């Protein structure tokens, strides 16, 4: 009889999401809702989501080589 191995489930070390949630339109993963000035959400499917103060914006940047950081991401963290 063939031996079967147990599947491995990986879970996040992040605490459960409380309050408002943001759901990726492409893959359905849930994240805490991005607030203006906070770091952007980099979804596992390659989409980036950030709140520019007027709403949540999105941009696609592939996650496989060559790895790229979206242009202008530094401006999200500039302090006046």
Listed by start position, the domains of the chain span 21-77
Question: In terms of pLDDT, which residue wins out, 77 or 36?
Answer: 36
Contact 36, 43 (CB under 8 A): no
Rounded to whole angstroms, what are the CA distances from 69 to 30, 35, 50, 51, 57? 22, 20, 14, 17, 16
The sign of the dihedral angle between the CA atoms of 64, 8, 17, 15 is negative
pLDDT over threshold 80, residue 67: no
CB atoms within 10 A of CB 41: 19
Between the ranges 9-18, 36-45, 71-80, where is the mean pLDDT highest? Answer: 36-45
* Predicted confidence (pLDDT) per residue in 14-64, tens digit: 788 889 999 998 889 999 999 998 888 888 888 889 898 999 999 887 656
């Amino acid at each position: 009889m063939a031996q079967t191995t147990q599947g491995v489930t990986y879970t996040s070390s992040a605490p459960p999401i409380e309050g408002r949630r943001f759901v990726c339109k492409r893959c359905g993963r849930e994240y805490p809702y991005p607030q203006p000035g906070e770091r952007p959400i980099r979804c596992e499917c390659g989409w980036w989501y950030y709140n520019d103060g007027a709403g949540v914006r999105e941009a696609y940047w592939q996650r496989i080589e060559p790895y790229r950081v979206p242009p202008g991401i530094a401006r999200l963290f500039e302090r006046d």
